[in-house]
Amino acid sequence: MADTIEEKPKLTRQDFSASHPRWCPGCGDFSILNTMQRVFADMGFTKEEVAVVSGIGCSSRFPYYVESYGFHTIHGRAPTVATGVKVANPDLSVWVVTGDGDGLSIGGNHTIHALRRNIDVTILLFNNRIYGLTKGQYSPTSEVGTKAKSTPMGSVESPIDPLRLALSANATFVARTLDTDPKHMAKVFKAAGEHKGTSFVEIMQNCVIFNDKVFDPVTNRKTKLDTMLYLEEGQPLIFGKDSNKGIFMKDSMPKVVSIEENGFSEEDILVHNTSSSHKSLHYMLADMKYPDFPTPIGVLKCDESQTTYNDAVTAQVKEAQEAKGTGDLQALLRGPDSWEVKEGDLG
Amino acid sequence: MLEEDDDQILEELESVVILFAGDSGDGMQTVGELFTDTCAHSGFNMSTLPDYPAEIRAPAGTIAGVSGFQVHLGSAPVLSGGDAAEVLIAMNPAALNANLDRVVPGGMIVVNIGAFTDENIRMAEFESNPLDDEVLNERFEIVKVNLNELTKHALADMDLKMKDKMRCKNFFALGFMFWVYHQPLTDTLNFLEKKWGKKRPQLVEANAKALRGGHNYGETYEGARNRYQIAKTQVKPGVYRKISGNQAIAYGLVAASQACARPLTYPSYPITPATSILETLAALKHFNVKTIQAEDEIAAAGIALGASWAGDLAVTGTSGPGMCLKSEFLGLAVITELPMVICNVQRAGPSTGLPTKVEQADLLQAIYGRHGECPLPVVSCSTPGDGYYAAIEAVRIAIKYKTPVILLSDAYVANGSEPWRVPSVEDLPDLRVEEAEEPKDGEKYLPYKRDPETLARKLAFPGQKGNEHRIGGLEKNESGAISYSPDNHEEMVNLRAKKIQGIAKSYEPIKINGKAKGKVLVLGWGGTYGAITAAMNNLIAEGYPVASVHIHHLFPLPLDLKDILNSYDKVLIPELNSGQLNMMIRAEYLIDTISYPKVKGQPFTVTEITTKVLELLN
């Protein structure tokens, strides 16, 4: 189906719209859904080429709202089902929609293993730092001290960092975006969808009911230029309303400096490299967080040099067939050590 | 059985049960398999019963570390691994102590006296050297062979470390047994060449020398023992091979994949005793087989379900504890009505239990062990070779009725092997089914629209133009839309149940072993087939009014079963569990069946079944 791209009908966002979403009014998921539908159209997909697989949670209702093939599975297991789908039909564009509880708590294991295998699917992790569908318990990404229904005195658990986890699992594409910036989301989703290998995207998503404004200190429109660092490949790590602040390395530690002050110029600022073989840059970016640092937004890592899992699986089948031919079942059943009993033979 | 015959005339036996036993590092499984291969090649009927410890290398010299391999050779079809052994090869005192009560009185025990040191005797929990025990010497025919010394002599001119030389003593013992049973060394020599010929030719030479040494030792053995040969009878003509249960399941899946024209995807997580299905299939990629070693049991089920949705034949395999982990996915497979097969090679539980031993205690779990109203078909295999046919049947049901199917095997069937009449691929059933076609103008694909006959839905695989749809764990109506309607839920629950019940109409009729009416019927399922059938064949031949029936479909039960059960005064149900099928049969048919449970991690013996049936006749 891939070689007739020119003849394919050009679809619009609306073509990918299925039933009306049932999320709370004001939920960040609406904006993510709209953006995704638009990206599917922009990427030139037809409806049958897309498979959206989800687990359980608010975000996981997603497949029902996308007019494509969709599978709403069970809690935490979407990466496994998506792996099966992609291995069985590598021509599909497979998208996993998951949340912080689904993908990092109950399904943490599958997230790790999808990433290390580098199966060619895109994992969108909606991080709202709360369990919404069960009505407000703390999640594995909730900050220490989070007061939720199951932690009336505040959470005593240290949170997991989604990007740090993805990098540790050797993910080949790691990015972060936010629900209130559709343009940025679209850019990141498209890059993730085009990446060959597992793409992992954390979306800072607001739960208007149970965890409203949890990311506000970082994503607030009024202050975000000073609290977020927009990553651009090959560009210096510069941020700030006046683009006058940057990341400088001193004694192997990142440090925020003002450009044109204390002798710092743009040349002193660290340059972003998504494909750097030096993984420390990506880890450093994942560890930078507001308020000590601006929170990095965009693609942290993109390594196109790795073979995808589905390609490797397909290649082994092909290699085996080239070496042995396409399986003779009768010969297999007979095996190398058979013997024949004839009529009248005593066995 | 043993008559002295100094002229070494070959004495003819109808059958013999031989048990090789030693430390788990002594290579007993290897020589047991090789002995069996040679005998199978010579055209004997046989059945094997490997019995090994859970630990790869339990402490050497202890009873816990004893590994055994029993082979039952016979002229007539051999249906079980054999009751008691007529011959025991004990490589050390622990192997002797662990297996003494498995040897028939008067049986031959070949002991490696080289291993009977004070230390080993103590570790084997004997109070004194058992070889000095008069009772023992009177009760059994003890053949004392110093395998350590003899192997050392046989390999005297080899430039090998003493430790490596000692590793060859299992082949010395094997050579001796080949002499006793008048079997050729060719197969074993070929095996050695194939295994080490390229990489370690020295090992080929050493083991071959030990093997020949053992054989020559027989020729010169001062005790001038009898030699035996097994009588031969006519078996059904055809091409035969040796096959184990897990191998047969793997081959059945490959055959079924061709028969339904869908590539096989087999994701699985290693677990005893199911792992060799994964290993066997991993070597068959040229049959368009994709194997995936998943990160856990749950992932294996999830990958399978995803592959099934996308159009592959999806199968996963595990054992009891893994079934628990997969069961949430079975709920999803049931509500989304997607085909998949889950092989459960049962072992003794609960929990890790006796992980290398046999039990049939996952039957109720297979049938009832899920959340919600969640019926799914359960089939089982009764012998190693039957694994092939059971796998094809499981796939047939899964693909035709759009349902997960559990295939129950067990450690005895999985590890045991038997001669198998190689089926012709021409006889493969056509398992292809029609799925959804691309819609014509104005048509809309309804995911849960059912075939009026089978009640099965038609699948539309992702990638197919125009049939885009969403499925998932939430209850749906016919059109595939989420529905919270109370009436719709009840209707869907009932429809799913009715669909599964209807599968029973597609079964072959039950075969009765014996007359259609009588005093006692033995009802069995799974790996107890051999022991039950052997016992019943004897009793029927002796004229007792008894019969046996072995069912392969555990859920839904065959439609003709009730009438059959009602045709006998008493129904006995032997099972390697605490009476699970018995409970189901009583609940289903209100028949006062008699349970015969056994939960020792060991299969039934023919004698046990025979004794129990005779008890019921009196």
Q: What are B356-402's pLDDT values in tens digits?
A: 999 999 999 999 999 999 999 999 999 999 999 999 999 999 999 99
Pairs of residues, one from chain A and one from chain B, whose beta carbons lie less than 8 Å apart:
228
* Averaged pLDDT of chain B: 93
Q: Which residues on adjacent β-strands are paired with residue B406?
A: B342, B378
Residues of chain A with Cβ-Cβ distance to B464 below 8 Å are: 48
Chain B positions in Cβ-Cβ contact with residue A110 (cut-off 8 Å):
295, 298-299, 302
Residue B38 makes CB contacts below 8 A (sequence gap 6+) with B178, B183, B184, B187, B188
Q: What is the DSSP string of A167-184?
A: HHTT-SEEEEEETT-HHH
Contact A339, B41 (CB under 8 A): yes
B287–A316: do the CB atoms touch at under 8 Å? no
Q: Is A332 helix (H, G, I), strand (E, B) or coil?
A: helix
Closest Cα in chain B, distance from residue A73 (Å): 5
Q: Do A54 and A63 meet the contact criterion of CB atoms below 8 Å apart?
A: yes
CA angle A244, A248, A253 (to 5 degrees): 145
pLDDT tens, N- to C-terminus, chain A (347 residues): 455 555 778 899 999 999 889 999 999 999 999 999 999 999 999 999 999 999 999 999 999 999 999 999 999 999 999 999 999 999 999 999 999 999 999 999 999 999 999 999 999 999 999 999 999 999 999 999 999 999 999 999 999 999 999 999 999 999 999 999 999 999 999 999 999 999 999 999 999 999 999 999 999 999 999 999 999 999 999 999 999 999 999 998 999 999 999 999 999 999 999 999 888 999 999 999 999 999 999 999 999 999 999 999 999 999 999 999 999 999 999 998 888 888 766 54
Mutation choice for B interface testing from A20, A62, A81 by most B CBs within 10 A: A81
Query: What are the backbone dihedrals phi and psi of residue A296, each rounded to the nearest 5 degrees, phi first?
Result: -70, 140
- Binning pLDDT at 50, 70 and 90, where does residue B129 land? very high
| pLDDT at B473 exceeding the cut of 60 | yes
CA distance A112 to chain B (A): 9
Give the burial class of B550: count Cβ atoms within 10 A of its Cβ; 0-12 exposed, 13-18 middle, 19 or more buried. Answer: buried
- Nearest residue in B to A68, CA atom: B468
3-state secondary structure of A107: coil
Q: B205 versus B227: which is more confidently predicted?
A: B205
Tokens of B123: 């570790």
Report CA dihedral (A27, A29, A34, A35) to the nearest 10 degrees.
120
User: Which of A51, A69, A87 is closest, CB to CB, to B290?
Assistant: A87
Whether A341 and B240 lie within 8 Å, measured CB to CB? yes
Cβ <8 Å between B236 and A341: yes
Q: Collect all residues of chain B within an 8 Å Cβ-Cβ radius of residue A46.
A: 465
- Asked if the C-beta of A341 comes within 8 angstroms of chain B's C-beta atoms, the answer is yes
- Tell me the C-alpha distance between A103 and A98, whole Å: 6
Q: What angle do CA A306, A309, A310 make, to 5 degrees?
A: 125
What is this structure's pTM? 0.90
Give the three-class secondary structure for B610: helix
- CA angle in degrees (0–180, nearest 5) for B268-B270-B272: 125
Task: For chain B, say whether A88 makes contact (Cβ under 8 Å).
Answer: yes
pLDDT attached to residue B1: 33
> Most distant CA pair in chain B: distance in Å?
92
DSSP letters spanning B266-293? EEE---TTTHHHHHHHHTTGGGTEEEEE
pLDDT band at residue B5 under the 50/70/90 scheme: very low
Q: Does A329 touch chain B (CB under 8 A)?
A: yes
Predicted confidence (pLDDT) per residue in A100-127, tens digit: 999 999 999 999 999 999 999 999 999 9
Interface test with B, best of A7, A49, A58, A89 (most B CBs within 10 A): A89
Residue the block writes with tokens 């004794």:
B611
A333/B423 touch (CB, cutoff 8 Å), yes or no: yes
Q: List CB contacts (< 8 A) between A326 and chain B.
A: 286-288
In this model, does residue B58 exceed pLDDT 90?
Answer: no
Chain A's closest residue to B45, CA to CA, is A347
- Which of B564, B569, B566, B587 lies closest to B510 in space, CA to CA? B564
Question: In this complex, which of B234, B284, B290 lies closest to A347 when CB atoms are compared?
Answer: B234
In three-state secondary structure terms, B226 is coil
CB B224 within 8 A of CB B8: yes
Phi and psi angles of residue A159, each rounded to the nearest 5 degrees, phi first:
-75, 160
ipTM of this model?
0.96
Exposed/middle/buried for A71, CB within 10 Å: 0-12, 13-18, 19+? buried
High-pLDDT (> 70) share of chain B, %: 96
From the number of C-beta atoms within 10 Å of its C-beta (0-12, 13-18, 19+), residue B282 rates as: middle
CA dist B31 and B47 (Å) reads 15
In whole angstroms, give the CA distance from residue B279 to residue B269.
Answer: 11
Q: Where are the alpha helices (DSSP H) in B224-362?
A: 245-259, 275-282, 297-309, 320-336
Res B142 pLDDT > 70: yes
**CB–CB of B305 and A51 under 8 A?**
no
Residue B587 pLDDT: 98
Q: In the numeric block, which tokens belong to residue A35?
A: 């953006």
Tell me if B469 and A69 make a contact (CB, 8 A cut-off). yes
**Residue B322 to residues A102, B328, B404, B547, Cα–Cα distance (Å):** 21, 11, 16, 36
* pLDDT tens per residue across span B64-84: 889 999 999 887 777 777 788
Cis amide bond preceding B439, omega within 30: no
Chain A residues with CB under 8 Å of B37 CB are: 337
Q: Do A73 and B482 touch (CB under 8 A)?
A: no
Interface check for A6 against chain B (CB to CB < 8 A): the answer is no
In contact, A88 and B311? CB cutoff 8 Å: yes
Greater model confidence, B11 or B453: B453
Residues within 8 A of B (CB atoms), A 135-154 only = none
Q: From the CA atom positions of chain B, what is the Rg in Å?
A: 27
What pLDDT does A9 receive? 81
Look at residue B296 and give its three-state secondary structure. coil
Chain B residues touching A320 at Cβ < 8 A: 285-286
Q: Which of B229, B260, B309, B438 to mutate to test the interface with A (most CBs of A within 10 A)?
A: B309
Measured in angstroms, the CA of B35 and the nearest CA of chain A are apart by: 14
Nearest Cα of chain B lies from the Cα of A150 at a distance, in angstroms, of 25
pLDDT at res. A252: 87
Instruction: Name which of A85, A91, A313 to mutate to probe chain B: the one with the most chain B Cβ atoms within 10 A of its Cβ.
Output: A85
Please, which residues have CB within 8 angstroms of residue B539's CB and are 6 or more apart in sequence?
A: B546, B610, B613, B614
Of A73, A320, A321, the CB nearest to B472: A73
- Among all chains, which residue has been given the structure tokens 């040229």? B286
CA–CA min distance A227, chain B (Å): 38
Backbone angles phi, psi at B12, to 5 degrees: -90, 130
Cα separations in angstroms, A59 against A135, B234, B312, B352, B437 = 14, 67, 28, 37, 32
CA distance between the termini of chain B: 30
The token duo for A98 is 């998951």
B357 CA to chain A: closest CA distance, Å? 28
Q: Which residues of B touch A319 (CB under 8 A)?
A: 285
Residues of B in contact with A324 (CB under 8 A): 286
B302 with A110: Cβ contact below 8 A: yes
A2–B contact, CB cutoff 8 A: no
| B2, pLDDT greater than 50 | no
For residues B93-107, give the mean pLDDT. 92
**Angle between helices B606-617 and B529-541 in degrees, nearest 10:** 50
Contact B612, B574 (CB under 8 A): yes
Indicate yes or no: CB of B239 within 8 angstroms of CB of A338: yes
Cα–Cα distance measured from residue A207 to residue A214, given in angstroms and rounded to the nearest whole number = 8
